[in-house]
Amino acid sequence: MAAVGALAVLIPWVAGEAVVNWALLVLLQVVVAQSWNLLAGYGGQVNLGHAAFFGIGALVTRGLWMQGMPVAVALPVGCAAAVGAGLLVGVPSLRLRGPYFAIGTLAMAEILRIVVATVLPEVSALPAELIAGYQLLPRYYLVLLLAVAATGAVWLVEQSRFGMGLLAVREDEGVAEAVGVDSYRHKLLAFLLSASLAGAAGGAFGYYHLSFYPQFAFSPVWTFDAVLMVFLGGIGTVWGPPVGAAFFVLLREALALRLTELHVLVFGAVFVVVVLALPGGLVDFARVLRLRWVRAARPGQA
């Protein structure tokens, strides 16, 4: 763990720009994955409209920053905007159960994406003077900071009384209510936390990219990637999403080079196999393997 952390901090000093860009993408996906994991893994709510919060964070942060606001101010404002949207979406939709929450959030995100595509059809490119001052290093460390913060947030939730309540809601809302957990408030708080982290990830994306179509930040791809990474790594765990994100981005880059379109096919198939056969994801799979290995090494005690 310490080695990975040290590597993440040192990468810009030992590796070339391509590797730094790649590491930045991994870390950005860690933030996206953790934000989805927080609500789905601990609260049991499958939010298929997650991209909306990423997009709002990206749009607001980038807009303010390009108008001259320092990114240290613009990013929190972008986060706050995502939380505000989270309130608007979460208050009605969290009363819905199971599949209706999933498809309801998907519908709301699609509405937002279509509206953004209509209102802002032009590509958002940085002006020349901002490109001239563009530096990769601060962006990398910003995303690293966010990834650590997101993982820390999930860890804190897991340790806290709030997290216990959330887990109870995930397992059985009726029982949770019966022992005095206000399930609606727990879900809403988790939803807002998740939205704020997604907004931060979006903000970093808006600060990092030279040019993109505003609607791209709202694309359902961001949601789907998050779902894939979280399930690959291990849903409802602290270390699953980072493992899933690294695995996902690495595999995607490797496959996209060799197989182009086919890499989506591989991901879809791997995803189905993981959902059906490895519900604990890679993290759990590694734990099981290690247990077997330990038992095999000490046959007397098995």
Partner 1 sequence: MEVWLQNVTFGALVGGLYGLAAVGLALVFGVLHMLNVAHGELIMLGGYTTFWLFTLGGLDPYASLLVAGPLLFAVGVALYEGLFGRLVRLHEESKIQLSILIGFGLALVLHALAILAWTADDRAVTAAYAGRVLHVGRLVVPLTRLGGLAVAFAALGGLHLFLQRTDVGRAIRGTAEDWEAASLMGVPVRRVYRTAFALGSALAGVAGSLVAVSDAISPAIGLSWTLKALIVVVLAGLGSILGTFVAGVLLGVAESAAAFALGGVFREVVGLVLFVAVLTLRPQGLFGRKL
**Cα–Cα distance for residue pair 79/35, rounded to 1 Å:** 12
Size of the site for partner 1 (CB under 8 A): 35
136/179 Cα distance (integer angstroms): 50
Instruction: Determine if 122 is a binding residue for partner 1 (CB under 8 A).
Output: no
Residue pair 167/187 in contact by the 8 Å Cβ criterion: no
Per CB under 8 A, contacts with partner 1 among 36-65 are 46
Q: Quote the CA–CA distance of 257 and 274 in Å, as a whole number.
A: 24
96 binding partner 1? (CB under 8 A) = yes
**Which range of residues in 29-37, 94-102, 149-157, 287-295 is near partner 1 by CB under 8 A?**
94-102
From 80, 264, 278, 286, residue interacting with partner 1 (rule: CB under 8 A): 264
Helix axes 183-208, 161-171, angle to 10 degrees: 110
**What single-letter amino acid sits at 71?**
V
Q: Rounded CA gap, 8 and 149, in Å?
A: 14
Q: Chain centroid to CA 274: how far?
A: 19
- Interaction of residue 261 with partner 1, rule CB under 8 A: yes
Member of 107, 130, 291, 294 binding partner 1 (CB under 8 A): 107
Q: DSSP character for 212?
A: E
> For residues 103 and 126, which CB has a smaller minimum distance to partner 1 in the complex?
103
Contact flag: residue 178 with partner 1 (CB under 8 A) = no
Residue 143 and residue 150: Cα distance in Å, rounded?
A: 10
Helical axes 71-93 vs 51-66, angle rounded to 10°: 150
Considering only residues 265 through 284, tell me which ones interact with partner 1, judged by CB under 8 A.
265, 267-269, 271-272, 275-276
Cβ proximity to partner 1, 58 vs 235, nearer residue: 235
For partner 1, the closer CB: 111 or 289: 111
- Kindly tell me which of 137 and 221 has the beta carbon lying closer to partner 1: 221
Q: Which helix (H) or strand (E) holds 104?
A: helix 98-119
**Residues near 269 by Cβ (< 8 Å), separated by ≥ 6?**
none
Is residue 16 involved in binding partner 1 (CB under 8 A)?
no
Stretch that binds partner 1, among 15-23, 100-108, 190-198, 288-296 (CB under 8 A): 100-108
Scan residues 204-233 and list those touching partner 1 (CB under 8 A): 220, 224, 227, 231
Footprint of partner 1 (CB under 8 A): 46, 92-93, 95-96, 98-100, 102-104, 106-108, 110-111, 114-115, 117-118, 220, 224, 227, 231, 261-262, 264-265, 267-269, 271-272, 275-276
